[in-house]
Amino acid sequence: MSISLEALEVEVLRLRAADRARLLDRVVASLDADSARDAAWDAVAARRDAEIEAGIATEVSVDDVLARLRAELR
């Protein structure tokens, strides 16, 4: 027997906030099944973080990045 989406929603919303958050994490993880891609991005992030820590690279603020992008798109 399957449960309707509406009935499931009612039941989920009855859960404590922490349990809903844990359920949400599990549902999102089930939709994003490309673990190789995730591992590759994690490796890139770790490498960049190490470069910043070592002084090889510098951080760029979000405002600077957006300004550069806007200038390139004009």
- Give me the pLDDT at residue 65, please: 95
Q: What is the pTM of this model?
A: 0.47
Query: Tokens at residue 60, please?
Result: 């760029």
CA distances for 50 relative to 26, 38, 39, 47, angstroms: 30, 18, 16, 5
Determine the Cα–Cα distance for residues 23 and 12; give it in Å rounded to an integer. Answer: 9
Both 22 and 4 in one domain: the answer is yes
Both 24 and 53 in one domain: the answer is no
What tens digit of pLDDT does each residue of 8-46 get? 999 999 999 999 999 999 998 888 778 888 889 999 999
- Give me the pLDDT at residue 1, please: 63
Both 49 and 68 in one domain: the answer is yes
Quickly state the pLDDT bin for 63 (edges 50, 70, 90).
very high
Both 20 and 43 in one domain: the answer is no
Query: 11 lies in which domain range?
Result: 1-33
Looking at the structure of the chain, the number of domains it has is 2
Backbone angles phi, psi at 35, to 5 degrees: -70, -30
Q: Which residues lie below 8 Å from residue 73, measured CB to CB, with a gap of 6+?
A: none
